[in-house]
Structure 1
Amino acid sequence: MGIEDNKAIVKRAYLEGLNRRDMSIIRECFAPNYVNYFPAGEGEVHGIDDFTTVLKQFLDAFTDLTFTVEDLFAEGDKVVLRWSARGIHTGDYRGIPPTTVVPATGREISFSATDIYHVSNGQIIEEWNTMDGWDILHQMGIVRSNAHAAS
């Protein structure tokens, strides 16, 4: 598979899998032994079964969560995706990975990240995720940001 194929797999995971909440597409795009690495101290998710469980919990926390592909680059077997998302917090938020439970706040939440994907044999096998869970908690009114704490 070439670079354009790898980019198409990652893009499909977002636009068809996440935006449509279609776990069958997620299972097509991500390998059974997929590993998601989160920022320091936030842990990892191993395997497609655990990933789809965590992902479904995350998506269930937001009404009409929509992901937008902002930029997509690739070289070799690595794909870099800059994305954004927006939705209403209407269910229990557990985070990715699940670290805390926040009941619905009804607030509109927007967040973004730039993630790196390792694609092999037509599936994503690894992801280095940069989503800022603290920013999401701040928008929910659960934590104060450092910028606001000093004022």
Structure 2
Amino acid sequence: MGTEENKAVVMRAYLDGMNRKDMSVIRECFAPDYVNFFPAGQGQVRGIEDFTRTLGEFLDAFENLVFTVEDVFADGDKVVLRWSATGRHTGDYRGIPPTTVIPATRKEINFSATDIYRVVGGKIVEEWNTLDGWDIMYQMGAVKKLAPAAV
């Protein structure tokens, strides 16, 4: 598959899958052995079953969640997607570590990331995720923002 097809798979995952909370689209876009690498200390997700469960829990924590694709670039089997999202926190949110559960705060939350995907045979097989879970928890009021260290 070419770079345009690879970009289309990743964008479909966001626009048709995540925006509609449609796990059948997610299963079409992601490989059965998909691996998601989160920033340090935030773990990994391995396999489509673990991913759809984890993603479903994340999406269910927000009402009216809308993902917007800001930029998309591709080179070979790699796709880079810069995205933003907004939604109201209306359900349980699994924080950091994932055993932390933050009940609904009804707050409007805005977050974004720039993620790298590897697409093989029309399926996403790997993702390097940059979502800042700490910022989301800060917006929910679950953690305090630390002042920058003095230099």
- What TM-score do you get using the length of structure 2 for normalisation? 0.95
* Mean CA deviation greater in 42-51 or 91-100: 91-100
User: Residue type matched to 2:27 in 1?
Assistant: R
Distance 1:95 1:10, change over 3 A: farther
Shift of 1:96: 8.2
> Where does residue 108 of structure 1 map in the other structure?
108
Query: For 1:44 and 1:33, how far apart are their aligned partners in 2?
Result: 13
Query: For 1:111 and 1:81, how far apart are their aligned partners in 2?
Result: 14
Q: Gapped runs of 5+ residues in structure 2?
A: none
Shift of 1:46: 0.2
> Where does residue 6 of structure 1 map in the other structure?
6
> Where does residue 52 of structure 1 map in the other structure?
52
Structure 2 residue matching 1:131: 3-state secondary structure: coil
Query: For 1:47 and 1:100, how far apart are their aligned partners in 2?
Result: 22
Moved over 6 A (4+): none
Equivalences, count: 150
**Identity among equivalent pairs (%):** 72
Q: Gapped runs of 5+ residues in structure 1?
A: none
Shift of 1:148: 8.4
Query: For 1:57 and 1:86, how far apart are their aligned partners in 2?
Result: 16
User: Residue type matched to 1:16 in 2?
Assistant: D
Distance 1:27 1:136, change over 3 A: same
Q: Contact (CA 8 Å) 2:96, 2:134: kept in 1 or not?
A: no
Structure 2 residue matching 1:106: 3-state secondary structure: coil
Q: Contact (CA 8 Å) 2:35, 2:126: kept in 1 or not?
A: yes
Shift of 1:97: 7.7
Q: Contact (CA 8 Å) 1:54, 1:96: kept in 2 or not?
A: no
Q: Contact (CA 8 Å) 1:116, 1:127: kept in 2 or not?
A: yes
Q: Please, what is the CA RMSD of the aligned residues? A: 1.7
**Residues 51-88 of structure 1: CA deviation (Å, up to 9, x unaligned):** 00001101110001000000000000000000000000
